[in-house]
Amino acid sequence: MDAYFTERTTVSGDRCVGRDPGMLCGFGLRDGRTIAYAAQRGTATRPSGYRTAVRLMRLADRLGLPVLTLVDTPGAANGAAAEAAGAASAVAELFAAVATARVPVTTLLIGEGGSGGAPALAAPGNTWATPSSYFSVIAPELATAILKRPAGPGHVRATVDELRLSSQGLMDLGVVRGVVGAVRRLPPQRPREPA
């Protein structure tokens, strides 16, 4: 974030339960323009993180500011504490805030995008991927278990291939608009025939 924005200020806390250090929200200045951002930081996102992102989305919508979301999470935090803090309703509220935003929302998958906790931040029709990212509503290991396959690496790899979780697979399926930062290999050019 510091490399992308010349200045940044954070929005912290959900004004309800607390703060989630795994969700970074705020406003940044890029080429003289203010952009709101919500970025997952590679950990399971807590309900307070989703509510902070909702707070940011609504504020950006009122101010007419574009929003950049960065997805990198194994999913929503689970367990008794997360359920008591309203995990399901917090995720659902963020889905609604992103889907109904009147301002442009752009999403970049920068790492792991797993479970329902990742799609909640994904902009419909404007999600991009980095070459090493993946995106799925279920982790490959859990999908392998549900399919009742042995948990060995070969079976997980087969599940990954079938789910088409890679950035290229996601682009082929139309889930993402493109892969950012990928080296594009052009087909070799045939020599021209002399005229």
The domain spans of the chain are 7-138+166-173
Q: Are strands 33-40 and 23-30 parallel, antiparallel or unpaired?
A: antiparallel
pTM (two decimals):
0.86
Spatial distance between the Cα atoms of 22 and 72, rounded to a whole number of angstroms: 10
CATH topology of domain 7-138+166-173: 2-enoyl-CoA Hydratase; Chain A, domain 1 (3.90.226)
pLDDT tens digits, the chain, 195 residues: what are they? Answer: 889 999 999 998 888 878 999 999 999 999 999 999 999 999 999 999 999 999 999 999 999 999 999 999 999 998 999 999 999 999 999 999 999 999 999 999 999 998 888 999 999 999 999 999 989 888 788 889 998 888 778 888 888 888 888 888 999 999 999 999 855 544 444 444 444
